[in-house]
Amino acid sequence: MAPSFFNIKELRRLSRQSFRTDRSTDTSSDASHGTAPTSGSLTPPSIGQQSDPALNLQVKDQLLSPSSAAPLSRPLPQPYPNGASNRYSVSGMAGLGSPVASGKGPVLPVSQYSPRITNVPDNTWVYQKVLLVYGTVGDDHVHSLDGTVTVSRLDDSFPAVSWPVCNSHFKALVYMMPGANRLRFDFSSPKLANSGSSNPIHASYLTVHMIPPSGAPPLQLAILMAKDSPGTFDAVPARIEREGNGLDTAIRKFRMAAYLWQAFTAEQMWRNKFGRRVFRFEEEWTTGTANHRDREHGTQRSEARVHVIRTDKTLAELRDLNRAQQNPNASDKGGLYQIAVDAIRDYFKPLPGQDLYVSVLLLDAHWDTMSKTIVGHAALGGSDGNGLYLGIFGSHCLQSYPTSFEEVVPAFTDCTPTDTNHVSNDCNEAGSSWEAANIGIGAHLHETGHLFSLPHQETGIMLRDYVTLNRTFVSREAYSTRTRSKGGPVTQEDECSWHRLDCLRFRSHPCFRLPNDPVLNSDDSVQAWPVDGLTLMAATGISFVEIYGQGDEECHSWIEFPAENGGVQRLVTLSEQDLRSRLPEAKRKGKLRLSVKSHGGGSLDIDDYHKMCSKEACQLKIPSALPGLPKNAYRGNKLGLSQMEGSEPHEFIFTSALRQDRVLSRIIFYHGLAFDGMEFVYDDDSRQLFGKRGGKKGGDSFDMDIRRGEYITGFFVRSGFWIDAIQVLTSLGRRSPLFGNAHGGSAHTLIPPRGYNICGVTGSCGPWVDGFSVIVTK
């Protein structure tokens, strides 16, 4: 007869609480809802009664136990103080496997040698294909350890990869897939017990969630070749025999280099408090190349796509052009860049107004042993001015690149001397294989920075710090032929970086937008008004201001205006005294130059602060309502360059601002493929013409509601070299049509600061209007 305390409710309670099996592969565990520690267990929260033939025996044994009538209380594992990861040791007894979720299982002691992840908190959200993970093992202050950390996925959808531990520190690359990535980190060392067993005890677990940021434009990867190129790159015979030097190998190496760019940049953005914000790649479904097993088994994955493009030039033409460019007296220094621009445009065929970001590897770069020069190579990055942002770099260091995760550390620690009988020692900084990898991967990343509109900086990748790029991915540096140093352990302070200003630019770049970013105003421009010192305005908010002293090429001082609590500063006032105080003492009395950036990515350069804000340049006197007391009026920052042939200044104060008995009744706009002029007509039919009466005959008229006292509050302008189109904004919230070329130039909204009104217009006109701003007064 069954014991009296046996009942169905108790059985259900016990089955939920006590019965687990490590045979289940169901992933719908408590951890998926954020309620369980990231122990890596895939055990489901409950198991059906008939799921195991031995279940009835287990139930019977527990029910006969005197303590089974009361709920079992099990203490939860204590998290680590820094909260960086949840670590649990796995018992060395066979069959116990991993600890179960939510602490509902045997409480196992935590191994002091379980890897601790220091840069990626548990349940982090990321947006990239490859994640860089830093961590420690044990306590390096007490006893430094060397060994290996093996990173594996609990679902085995990507093979385990081992990474070296040096002085208790390790760095690892982790392949991310959309969704939850449940990872296990196992440490082994010949100095520790059970390290080599099939069930190691020094393990920790981490869950990382990945979302592909499909809402941002991708960085395209392309290999450019001559029309008769054999499709090979420079390599020593031993390399060619081992891995080949054909197009397929080039694609795998270039793709892996791009993954390293992405992992490095995301980590740098995280260190600068911008989250793991990073560019993405266009992807294709192809045989996986990030690990050896995929290539052996033919496993298909979604990988970064590398476009292969042939130019209409022959190999001889490319190399002859390059030889001519290396002549100091060459007239065309950008020949290879223009060839790349033409080939990229012909291949991608971007639509009008479509921006395209492409990083190109010039496969036909070749080390000419006779002339001791690299031909078919150029290192350039920037924009063609029509929406194509392009960076190009040669393949002369490609043989030293890794092709997969397993080859990253060997590639960055390979001290094989550079054989200049077959490959180049670029700038005498690539004397060994790992240093050549730094130069090739790092310098190409430098040119990719230029295509993202980065200038040169005082430190970082945009200087030449990429010669230490290897330190980001290894915990011990090998012997360096460049510095003649024996190497040793690498700390975070030793690594190269993106400069803080680079990260600020990335924060606002369209390629770095994340799925949860708020929608920005389409007008990313910055406007400057010489009132109250210097007043800056931007619809998307002011991000930062770079300050340059006289003679400065790189920025050394800047002011940041971060978005606080989701809000941005759309209006900022700067004083000359404050700006100069931020410069070194020797620079404070010279010319002051500013570059203002908006959160939308817009930019405004002020070449001379004092000249722009001086009374001679920006102020003029206009009559006021009180006789003998003129008012000050101020010219805003001008749009357009005023450099067309025959350009002449145009400026006047509105009659309605000078006389109270006159009212602006309508505006006539003259326009064609650009903006030719506008005529202000008053209630007595008197007129003021800005520009000229060109374009459409008679122009187009926009009437003001004089009965309701409507007046002009601003202008929306599209401009570049000249003024493409103009729209009027009024006090009643109305907008005129956009007259002129509505798709030309870039957008600018001219609205005066609070407390000021528009009282006139200023600018210039040549064949059509090529300069425009407004005059404001209190």
Distance, CA of 399 to CA of 432 (rounded, Å): 12
In sequence order, the β-bridge partners of residue 76 are none
Using left for φ > 0, alpha for ψ between -120 and 50, and beta otherwise, residue 191 falls in alpha
Query: What would the two tokens of residue 575 be?
Result: 């004083």
Q: Are 161 and 204 in contact (CB under 8 A)?
A: no
Please answer whether residues 50 and 43 qualify as being in contact, where contact means their C-beta atoms are separated by less than 8 angstroms.
Answer: no
| Exposure of 458 in the CB half-sphere (CA atoms within 13 A) | 10
Q: Which positions ≥6 away from 80 have C-beta within 8 Å?
A: 86, 87, 116
**CB 185, CB 149: distance < 8 Å:** yes
Query: Is the Cβ–Cβ distance between 549 and 523 less than 8 Å?
Result: no
Q: How far apart are CA 450 and CA 284, in angstroms?
A: 26
**Residue 194 phi, psi (nearest 5):** 65, 5
- What distance in Å separates the CA atoms of residue 289 and residue 599, rounded to the nearest whole number? 37
> What one-letter code names the amino acid at 675?
F
Contact 288, 304 (CB under 8 A): no
| Nearest Cα to Cα of residue 145 among 114, 176, 185, 180 | 114
Residue 502's closest CA among 548, 466, 538, 450?
450
Helices 247-271 and 433-451 cross at an angle (nearest 10°) of 70
Amino acid at 332: D
Per the annotation, the verdict on 616 as an active-site residue is no
Q: What is d(CA 507, CA 524) in angstroms, rounded to the nearest whole number?
A: 14
> What are phi and psi for residue 549, nearest 5 degrees?
-80, 175
SS3 17: helix
Question: Which residue reads 């869950």 in tokens?
Answer: 207
E strands along 534-591, which residues? 534-538, 542-548, 557-560, 571-574
* Tokens 């649990």 -> residue: 88
Whose CA is closest to 634, among 649, 650, 617, 651? 617
643/723 Cα distance (integer angstroms) = 12
**Annotated catalytic residue: which of 447, 495, 679, 710?**
447
Exposure letters 283-303 (e unless 16+ CB within 10 A, then b): eeebebbbbbebeeeeeebeb
As a whole number of angstroms, the distance between CA 609 and CA 587 comes to 14
Listed in sequence order, the residues at least 6 apart from 441 whose beta carbon sits closer than 8 Å to its beta carbon are 257, 260, 261, 397, 401, 466, 469
Strands (E), 561-656: 571-574, 593-598, 603-606, 619-622, 631-635, 648-653
User: What's the rounded Cα separation, in Å, for the pair 337 and 382?
Assistant: 10
Q: Among candidates 683, 625, 663, 649, which has minimal Cα distance to 771?
A: 649
Adjacent-strand bridge partners of 632: 621
Dist. CA 351–CA 349, nearest whole Å: 6
Per-residue burial over 548-575, b if 16 or more Cβ lie within 10 Å, else e, is: bbeebeebbbbbebeeeeeebbbebebe
Give the CA radius of gyration of the chain.
33
Count of helix runs (H) and strand runs (E) in the chain? 14, 40
Which residue bears the tokens 């006590």?
A: 18
The answer to whether the CB of 75 falls within 8 A of the CB of 107 is: yes
Enumerate the active-site residues. Answer: 447
